Structure 1
Amino acid sequence: MTERLRTTKTIAFDLSQEEKEIYDGVTEYVRYHFNQAKQNNNHNVTFAVMILQRRLSSSLAAIICR
């Protein structure tokens, strides 16, 4: 099996005010529930809220349309 090298690149971009409010709201929600789950040693929930933020943050346009 050939091993592929994976590279990442961070790209800066500006959010609209509405997008920033959504992102900040999701971040606050995730931070709260992540910390609650961590205190309770609930690893499944900590993982789930991290995935939730990634999915929501990568699809702001879909959230705004709802």
Structure 2
Amino acid sequence: MQRELNGGLDDRSVAFLWGCIADLDKIAPLINEECCASYFTNLRTMAQVAASPYLPRAI
């Protein structure tokens, strides 16, 4: 988040962030404990908000 606040993300950071979102999309539905599932769902939401101005680039 700090990079976003200090001028934006570079291509490498955008790719990493979208990769994290994809991982969270796979992992979060598998978590059975409510507080943990909530944490990772919120983490995914924050990542999505940070990534939303950027489209993932094909690598």
Q: For this structure pair, what is the TM-score category when the shorter chain's length is used for normalisation?
A: 0.3 to 0.5
Q: TM-score, normalised by structure 2?
A: 0.46
Structure holding more helix per residue: 2
Larger radius of gyration: 1
Q: TM-score, normalised by structure 1?
A: 0.43
Q: Which has the higher contact order (CA 8 A, sep 6+)?
A: 2
